[in-house]
Structure 1
Amino acid sequence: MKIDLTETNSSKINAALVKARRDIGTPAIGMVLTLVIVTDEENAYDALKSANDASHEHPSRIVVVVKRVSRSPRSRQGARLDAEVRVGADSGTGETVVLRLHGELVDHAQSVVLPLLLPDAPVVVWWPDGAPTDLAGDPLGALGQRRITDTYACEDPIGALGTRAAAYAPGDTDLSWTRITPWRSMLAAALDQQNLSVTSATVEGEADNPSCELLAMWLADRLQVPVTRTLSSGPGLTAVRLETKDGAIVLDRADGALATLCMPGQPDRAVALKRRDTAELLAEELRRLDPDNTYEASLKFGVSKLRSADGAPAKPEAESGAPVEAAPAEAAPKPKPARKTAAK
């Protein structure tokens, strides 16, 4: 069921939600959170589709905030709110409210969203693209217990990691971090089986892929060993190599779907390691609403402390501008030219 409202307000939107639930006999109970999506008109459809798919696991009220910024100074003089209310089959397993903000109302989106939040339920704010620099300091971000971004959508993904680290607040997270959850699980399980001491590590993946950098920083932070960052043609993250005194532990995924795990003294085995879509990533993030301390530690480790294949720092200057001294590296082949591919 869909209800279109023009030049409306939050009170009328809430009334429309109650009326729609009564008309189709759908109770409000059962929704576990409010998901606020902050996006533009171009990305609204894809973001809403992913949120609806994720709502099958996490029934929620989805509030989509579309800021219609006009270049005309005259059009910004009058504030206007248009809304679309969806309940039932048109909104996954919960409720959906699409808000289109015009004029000066764009700068006061939180005042429109606040009355639409489910009472006594957690709030998660998601920016599919165009996230602010300070997530917790943003008026909409301040409403959420969790704040989700995707650094891969930024023009400079690697630089965005430094920005996220500088402005990190408990509750921040990144879909680029969520993408490497299967990799982290597989590598941790491999080390539990072997019980070997890792002396160095290598992470291979396409250039400017924040997931590769986050995995490398996670390994360097947790294992306290030098980590080398090498390039490949992708797609995305392609291989991880952990050096031990008994041989190398290698997790290699060349095609983006099936990986091969090689461990000393054991036969090679094939493991499923497919690239997941946005709905699966979002559903994983909605499973936990507490701060991710592991993500925080990995993010703050810093890309500048990683090494490139020639032994130099992956980034010659740290975020503060001071040079970072690289650890001595073993000889390694020069990286292959990287070919940029979609990682979403």
Structure 2
Amino acid sequence: MHLKDTTTGEVMKALTELLHEVGGTSSLALNLVALTTEDEREEVEQAASQASQEHPYRLILAIPRDTEAAEPRIDAEVTLGERLGAAEAIILRLDGPATAHLTSIVLPLLAPDVPVVTWWLLDPVRYGLEQELREFADRRITYSARATDPVASLYRRAESYVTGDTDICWTRISLWRSLIASAFDGVGQEVEKIDIKADDDDPSAQLMAAWLHTRLGVAPTVIDTEVERNSEHLPAIESVAFTMSGGETMEVERNADGQTVLRQAGLPKRRQSLQGRTLGQLLAEELRHLDPDTAYRKVLETFRVHYADRASA
């Protein structure tokens, strides 16, 4: 259902009518408020559709359009299911002052009594909406890798962190973290040195270094490396190598085709496929855990201190 130059009241009326046609109110797990551009809309819709298979939610997709317009205007599309999967969806295109008042527009559209998650691929500073997106959300999901300066963007996230913040760049390394943690089962020696071959400008690589520093008490060296990936949603990490106190080594290396090899002294090579996941799969993983991510908070603080030292060097 398309509504031109509309109001939040008319949008909710349209959604209520659509719900009545299908037999009443649907069961929702959460509200997902996504900020995007028209160019990214299709990608965001595909990811939201995939994630909604695990998490039925009300999607409110906000698209700033003509931000310089003198008069506020809201054009809306209201759908149930269809291309957006198992979700109630409200797509808002905002002109002029309507963009700057995102909170007052979104609040009346939220489903009651369920958590609110905000998610954005673009940098909300561009639209002056960073505080707006924080105000009403229980969780906030960013994707620093999409910023013009990805590591600096992650650093801003670290400086302004509040409980409930997370980043897709953290989610991208969850499989790496699981693999490395399992490799340390039965390892009794302390780690003396860690070398990470990775793209130094990849936020996931910086978070990996901070995570290892937090867990093992050793500051890794990130060796700037051009990494070939078969998915943009993979972290730009080629290998992580450990040198133990007894001189033994352990290395996890990922090839361009996604095959990961664990080399560990005294043991045969272990191989595992570590393919890139879709944006929808990464979003779905984030939405499985709506409680504050304390591990991410600790890692982000380590990154903040480490990156500040590097930036001032």
Q: Report the TM-score, using the length of structure 1 for normalisation.
A: 0.83
Q: CA deviation at 1:130?
A: 1.6
Residue by residue, what CA displacement relative to the aligned partner does 1:111-143 show, whole Å, maximum 9, x if unpaired? Answer: 11101111000000001112339x996122211
Q: 1:168 aligned to 2:161?
A: yes
1:36·1:62 contact (CA, 8 Å) conserved in 2? yes
Is the alpha carbon distance of 1:261 and 1:60 closer, same or farther for their aligned partners in structure 2, counting shifts above 3 Å?
Answer: same
> How many corresponding residue pairs?
304
Aligned structure 1 segments of 4 or more residues deviating by more than 3 angstroms: 303-306, 315-318
1:32·1:60 contact (CA, 8 Å) conserved in 2? yes
Q: CA deviation at 1:37?
A: 0.3
Q: CA deviation at 1:24?
A: 3.1
Structure 1: where are the runs of 5+ without partners? 307-314, 324-344
Equivalent residue letter for 2:31: T
SS at match of 1:41: coil
Residue by residue, what CA displacement relative to the aligned partner does 1:67-122 show, whole Å, maximum 9, x if unpaired? Answer: 11344xxxx22111110001133331121110011121111011111011110000
Output the CA distance in 1 between the equivalents of 2:147 and 2:182.
32
Q: 1:37 aligned to 2:34?
A: yes
Output the CA distance in 1 between the equivalents of 2:33 and 2:303.
29
SS at match of 2:184: helix
1:131·1:149 contact (CA, 8 Å) conserved in 2? no
1:256·1:275 contact (CA, 8 Å) conserved in 2? no
Equivalent residue letter for 2:275: K
More helix as a share of residues: 2
Q: Report the TM-score, using the length of structure 2 for normalisation.
A: 0.91
Which residue number in structure 2 is paired with residue 178 of structure 1?
171
Q: CA deviation at 1:65?
A: 0.5
Which residue number in structure 1 is paired with residue 239 of structure 2?
239
Output the CA distance in 2 between the equivalents of 1:317 and 1:212.
15
Is the alpha carbon distance of 1:90 and 1:259 closer, same or farther for their aligned partners in structure 2, counting shifts above 3 Å?
Answer: same
Give the CA RMSD over aligned residues: 2.0
Output the CA distance in 1 between the equivalents of 2:162 and 2:130.
9
Q: CA deviation at 1:302?
A: 2.9
Which residue number in structure 2 is paired with residue 298 of structure 1?
299
2:100·2:129 contact (CA, 8 Å) conserved in 1? no
1:125 to 118, 127, 145: 118
Equivalent residue letter for 2:240: V
1:39·1:130 contact (CA, 8 Å) conserved in 2? no
Which residue number in structure 2 is paired with residue 98 of structure 1?
91
1:56 to 34, 53, 57: 53
Identity %: 34
SS at match of 2:11: helix
Structure 2: where are the runs of 5+ without partners? 229-235
2:200·2:222 contact (CA, 8 Å) conserved in 1? no
Is the alpha carbon distance of 1:90 and 1:22 closer, same or farther for their aligned partners in structure 2, counting shifts above 3 Å?
Answer: farther
